[in-house]
Amino acid sequence: MMKLTVKNAKCSVRFRKFLGGSVLKGTVFNRWDGVDTHLTVESDAPPEKLAHLLKNAKAGCFAEGLITQSVPLTSTIEVNGKPFHLDGVTSD
């Protein structure tokens, strides 16, 4: 599409999160402290073309969009084949 050659590309992702509380006491919680990405690219393309490519890749990344945007979450639960309502969790 952009007519440039990328010889190699790698992406590593680090999730910084914390899980705490007690299962027995019903106080389990999680906290996200951040998500870090590191992209390594090998290409002989001009820097301005690479910048254009990388901006498009970041803007079109579904994972990054999920993290950086407020996304509604709808939960349903089924137990033994029947809907199961859980206060504060399911919308039913």
Rounded CA separation 64/69 (Å): 8
Looking up tokens 């999920």 gives 66
Specify burial of residue 38 (Cβ count, 10 A radius: 0-12, 13-18, 19+). exposed
Residue 48 pLDDT? 95
pTM (global) more than 0.85 = no
For residue 91, is pLDDT > 90?
Answer: no
Radius of gyration of the chain from its Cα atoms, rounded to whole angstroms: 21
Query: Could you tell me the CATH number of the domain that includes residue 42?
Result: 3.30.300.20
Each residue's pLDDT tens digit, 1-38: 788 999 999 999 999 999 999 999 999 999 999 999 99
If one counts the domains in the chain, the total is 1
Judge contact between 29 and 16, C-beta under 8 A.
Answer: no
Is residue 39 a part of any domain in this protein?
yes
Tokens standing for 11? 């992406």
Each residue's pLDDT tens digit, 29-78: 999 999 999 999 999 999 999 999 999 999 999 988 988 898 898 999 99
For residue 92, is pLDDT > 70?
Answer: no
The domain containing residue 69 runs over which residues?
A: 8-83
Is residue 35 a part of any domain in this protein?
yes
